[in-house]
């Protein structure tokens, strides 16, 4: 079914406008109840910042999605997605307020993932129980990758907006109306919040926001389908769109394990922190990450339309570049450790 990108612009605009309007409200509410992110040694900001911006992203997304006229055709999946998103938003809020243990958060993320998987939102690679495991790992992994990336003003929000925009383009090109609506609503809501979250940020989204963004990005990626491409190619496309958060999480996890620390332990060892260490200012770091996310998205677009041979060539080039950057950032990390010791 052919889709027109213009038809989804109202969804994107409403998501944007609702998020812009709701963010000042959530900021005032956070200040009133004392839900602020206080400065610490591992954080960049020097003054307490309100920590409920994720509620504006959630509200903007839900309000925009109400415009989608395909609800009757996708009622089961959409209902499950909205309910799971709401559940994870509540869990994120509780964590922001009371600091849940990693096990409790992981358990909640698994429950949210299982909820949409039971409604049919899961990968379809092997037509076996292995698909359920892959879907679960993917959803939980992207939620936490987005949370990991939320370590600098505007970083996770902007990267999520860019990734959602590329998913929007890809889903429209493949005639997938539900994914087009989900990604358009998410993109608009993220951009609206970014106006307040970009450096110098006046509000943070907290785990409430990272849970919502990560979960919805994972769901959109699962629902993307490419009938014209064989499975040997199509599996690469979602990985490319979300290449930056996946790269950052992999980098941090390997580094922390290599240094004898828990991957869940917070620290200034993310991609953004290493770029800042070599002398880039906060805005420059964020723009470099935005550019990397755009390049990943362009690669995904090229792969979605390429022949099998060309798709593998593109994939090989991306992998080679990623490995080079990975090695370079590990060398930067060694210099960073020596400077801190």
Length of the chain measured in residues: 341
Model pLDDT, residue 47: 75
The Cα–Cα gap between 10 and 15 comes to: 8
Contact 141, 109 (CB under 8 A): no
Q: What is the pLDDT of residue 330?
A: 96
For the record, the structure tokens of 50 come out as 């309100």
Asked whether the CA dihedral 301, 223, 293, 203 is positive or negative, the reply is positive
Q: Is 273 helix (H, G, I), strand (E, B) or coil?
A: helix
Mode of pairing for the β-strands spanning 36-37 and 49-50: antiparallel
For the chain, which residues make up each domain, given as ranges?
5-340
**Axis crossing angle, helix 155-173 with helix 206-223, rounded to the nearest 10:** 20
pLDDT at 48: 86
Nearest to 218 by CA among 301, 295, 110: 110
Strands (DSSP E) along the chain, which ranges?
Answer: 36-37, 49-50
Strands (E), 6-86: 36-37, 49-50
Residue with token string 């605009």: 13
DSSP label of 74: G
Assigned token pair, 329: 């950032």
C-beta separation of 237 from 300 below 8 A: yes
Alpha-helix runs per DSSP H in 174-281? 177-197, 206-223, 231-234, 236-241, 243-258, 271-277
Could you read off the pLDDT tens digit of each residue along the chain, which spans 341 residues?
Answer: 668 899 999 999 999 999 999 999 999 999 999 999 876 655 555 678 999 999 999 999 999 999 999 999 999 999 999 999 999 999 999 999 999 999 999 999 999 999 999 999 999 988 899 999 999 999 999 999 999 999 999 999 999 999 999 999 999 999 999 999 999 999 999 999 999 999 999 999 999 999 999 999 999 999 999 998 999 999 999 999 999 999 999 999 999 999 989 888 888 999 999 999 999 999 999 999 999 999 999 999 999 999 999 999 999 999 999 999 999 999 999 999 988 87
pLDDT of residue 201: 95
Prediction pTM value: 0.96
The span from the CA of 254 to the CA of 200, in Å, is 30
Pair 303, 314: CB distance under 8 Å: yes
pLDDT for the residue 38: 79
Residue from 44, 52, 137, 56 nearest 95 by CA: 52
C-alpha 28, offset from chain centre: 25
């Amino acid at each position: 079914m052919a889709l027109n990108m213009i038809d989804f612009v109202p969804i994107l605009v409403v998501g944007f406008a609702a998020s812009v309007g709701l963010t000042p409200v959530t900021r005032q509410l956070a200040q009133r109840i004392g839900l602020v992110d206080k400065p610490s040694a591992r954080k960049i900001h020097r003054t307490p910042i309100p920590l409920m911006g994720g509620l504006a992203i959630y509200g903007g997304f839900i309000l925009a999605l109400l415009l989608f006229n395909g609800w009757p055709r996708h009622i089961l999946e959409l209902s499950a997605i909205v309910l799971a998103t709401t559940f994870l938003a509540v869990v994120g809020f509780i964590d922001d307020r009371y600091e849940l243990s990693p096990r409790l958060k992981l358990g909640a993320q698994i429950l949210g993932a299982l909820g949409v998987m039971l409604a049919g939102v899961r990968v379809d690679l092997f037509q076996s129980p292995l698909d359920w495991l892959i879907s679960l790992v993917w959803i939980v992994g992207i939620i936490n990758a987005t949370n990991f990336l939320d370590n600098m003003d505007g970083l996770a929000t902007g990267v999520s907006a860019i990734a959602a925009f590329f998913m929007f383009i890809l889903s429209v090109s493949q005639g997938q109306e539900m994914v087009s609506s989900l990604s358009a609503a998410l993109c608009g809501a993220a951009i609206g919040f970014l106006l307040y979250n970009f450096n110098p940020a006046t509000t943070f989204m907290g785990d409430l926001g990272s849970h919502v963004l990560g979960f919805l990005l994972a769901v959109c990626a699962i629902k993307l389908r490419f009938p014209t491409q064989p499975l040997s190619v199509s599996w690469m496309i979602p990985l490319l769109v979300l290449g930056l958060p996946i790269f950052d999480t992999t980098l941090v996890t390997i580094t922390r394990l290599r240094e004898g620390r828990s991957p869940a332990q917070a620290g200034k060892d993310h991609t953004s922190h290493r770029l800042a260490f070599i002398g880039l200012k906060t805005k420059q770091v964020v723009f470099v990450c935005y550019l990397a996310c755009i390049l990943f998205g362009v690669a995904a677009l090229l792969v979605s339309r390429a022949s099998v041979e060309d798709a593998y060539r593109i994939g090989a080039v991306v992998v080679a570049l990623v490995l080079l950057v990975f090695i370079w950032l590990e060398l930067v990390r060694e210099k960073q450790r020596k400077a801190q010791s």
